[in-house]
Amino acid sequence: MTLWVFGYGSLLWDPGFHVAEEAHARLHHYARSFCMRSIHHRGTEDDPGLVLALDEHPGAYCEGLALRAAPGTEDDTLAYLRERELISSAYLERRLAVGLSDGRRVEAVTYVIDPDHVQYCGGLPLEEQAQIIARAHGGRGPNHEYLRNTAAHLDELGIPDADLHWLTDRVRALLG
């Protein structure tokens, strides 16, 4: 069984599994945004941070990477991803069709936000997002590091994200 994973946030720069192939990919009807409060990796229950999630929006699309797990590692990869991504049940695991830049269409494991979960916070103003990201810190480090790494990797991949650029500049100013 071939296992593809759609990466749009930290999976771009820290997949945590052996990737045999990667390709630019587009997922329709979802938008990347800081719509999930992070109480483990980039914040705490007392002071939540923000992480990117895919929020369902008909007509929208998200560009990222499709990552194919190395042959023979599919079960271990899925177990690892479930432990990492489903830590608080705010994400839902879906198998969704993504279009690759070379024209192929593949089904990819994709983690999308559960809009009914207590950690969902879609629609926060960018300034409020920046204030949270500048101060929050969790088990995997400062929230601003997550933002900076994700924005830098999207730039390297040629995937523009105006909100992440604005947030990166604003958080840098807040941190001095």
| Separation of alpha carbons 131 and 50, rounded Å | 10
Residue among 29, 164, 53 nearest 117 (CA): 53
Q: Is 45 in the active site? A: no
Nearest to 77 by CA among 25, 1, 16, 22: 16
- With beta carbons less than 8 A apart as the criterion, state whether 78 and 12 touch: no
d(CA 54, CA 163): 14
Q: Are 119 and 88 in contact (CB under 8 A)?
A: yes
Q: Which residues contact 15 (CB under 8 A, 6 or more apart)?
A: 5, 7, 67
Pick the catalytic residue: 21, 63, 85, 128?
A: 85
Active site residues: 85
